[in-house]
C-alpha cells in the first residue's frame, strides 16, 4: 500500500516510516501542505498521514482543500496535540481518523490498515475474491484453503488487485504500488510478475488464475462463484500476438497451421 506522509519534522517522519514500512507501506513524504496537495493530485495513494502543524498551513485546512479538489484518499491525522476540539474539527474537515504522538507503532499500523480496508469496502482484514482469500494482517494468500507461496512483490500485486477488485489497474499503477516512484523498472516487469503468479496459481489449483488481462489497459480481478473471476470464458488479450496464440487449438497444432491461419479460422468460424 502506498502512503502519503505530510510531516515537516524529520525525526517524526523517520519514526513513522520506520513504524509502517515493515508492514508493506511505501511512504512518500511531503514537508509542506502545498507539496502534499500536489502529490495527492498526481498519484494514487491508499492512505494519507497528515500532521496538524505544517509550515505553510494547518493540517485540517489541507484535508479540506483535498476534499474540495475531489481527492478522496482516506486521511489519518497524526499530531502531538491531544485536543478533542481539534479532533472533532479534523473529522468535520474530512479526516477518517485521528491519532496522537507518541503512538504505539502497532496501533498506528493497525489503524492505517483498517482505514484502507474500510475505504475499499472491506470491514475485516480478510478479503475474499471468489476462491482466493488474502489476509492483509498476516500478508498471506490462500486459494481453496491452500496456501499460495508468493514473494513480497507478488503478494503486493494480489493485495492491490484484491483491494480494487472489479477495477482495471494499469501497469503504471502496479509500478507505483510496488516501487513508489523510486528506481522503477520498465512496465514489462509487471507482465513478468503476473505470468509467475498465474503459473503458481495453476500449479496449486490446476485452474486458470482468474487475473484478467484487459487489452491495452492492464489487469483486473473480479469475483466469481465458481472460479477466481467471472467471465473466465471470455478473456481479454494484451496484444494481437496473445490473440493469435489463443486462437490455436490442438487440431491446428497437429496440422501445423500458421498463427495467421489459426486466427482466420477463428474469425471465419
Give this prediction's pTM: 0.61
Question: Locate cell 503512538: which residue?
Answer: 103
2-119 classified as CATH 3.30.450.40: no
Distance, C-alpha 63 to centroid of its chain = 22
E strand or H helix that includes residue 132: strand 132-135
- ∠ Cα 131 24 46 (to 5°): 80
Low-confidence ranges of the chain (pLDDT < 50): 225-227, 230-269
Q: What is the pLDDT of residue 224?
A: 61
Q: What is the pLDDT of residue 228?
A: 57
Q: What is the pLDDT of residue 37?
A: 95
Q: Is 230 exposed, middle or buried (0-12, 13-18, 19+ CB in 10 A)?
A: middle
Q: What is the pLDDT of residue 209?
A: 56
Could you tell me where in the chain the CATH 3.40.50.2300 domains are found? 2-119
The CATH topology of domain 149-238 is Arc Repressor Mutant, subunit A (1.10.10)
Give whole-number Cα distances, 43 to 97, 108, 112, 161, 202, in Å. Answer: 21, 23, 18, 17, 33
Could you tell me where in the chain the CATH 1.10.10.10 domains are found? 149-238
Amino acid at each position: 500500500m502506498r502512503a502519503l506522509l505530510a510531516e515537516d519534522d524529520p525525526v517524526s517522519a523517520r519514526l513513522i516510516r520506520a513504524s509502517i514500512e515493515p508492514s508493506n507501506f511505501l511512504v512518500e513524504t511531503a514537508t509542506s501542505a502545498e507539496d502534499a496537495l500536489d502529490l495527492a493530485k498526481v498519484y494514487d495513494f491508499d492512505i494519507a498521514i497528515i500532521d496538524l502543524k505544517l509550515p505553510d498551513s494547518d493540517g485540517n485546512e489541507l484535508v479540506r482543500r483535498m476534499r474540495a479538489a475531489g481527492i478522496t484518499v482516506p486521511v489519518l491525522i497524526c499530531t502531538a496535540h491531544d485536543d478533542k476540539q481539534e479532533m472533532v474539527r479534523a473529522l468535520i474537515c474530512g479526516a477518517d481518523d485521528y491519532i496522537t504522538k507518541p503512538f504505539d507503532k502497532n496501533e498506528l499500523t493497525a489503524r492505517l490498515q483498517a482505514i484502507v480496508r474500510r475505504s475499499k469496502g472491506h470491514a475485516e482484514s480478510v478479503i475474499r475474491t471468489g476462491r482466493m482469500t488474502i489476509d492483509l494482517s498476516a500478508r498471506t494468500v490462500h486459494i481453496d484453503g491452500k496456501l499460495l507461496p508468493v514473494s513480497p512483490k507478488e503478494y503486493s500485486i494480489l493485495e492491490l488487485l484484491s483491494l480494487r477488485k472489479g477495477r482495471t489497474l494499469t501497469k503504471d499503477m502496479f509500478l507505483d504500488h510496488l516501487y513508489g516512484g523510486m528506481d522503477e523498472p520498465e512496465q514489462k516487469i509487471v507482465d513478468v510478475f503476473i505470468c509467475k503468479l498465474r503459473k503458481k496459481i495453476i500449479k496449486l489449483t490446476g485452474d486458470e488464475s482468474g487475473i484478467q488481462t484487459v487489452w491495452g489497459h492492464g489487469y483486473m480481478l473480479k469475483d466469481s462463484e465458481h472460479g477466481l473471476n467471472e467471465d473466465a470464458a471470455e478473456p481479454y488479450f494484451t496484444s494481437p500476438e496473445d490473440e493469435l496464440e489463443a486462437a490455436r487449438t490442438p487440431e491446428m497444432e497437429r496440422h501445423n497451421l500458421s498463427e495467421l491461419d489459426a486466427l482466420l479460422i477463428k474469425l471465419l468460424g
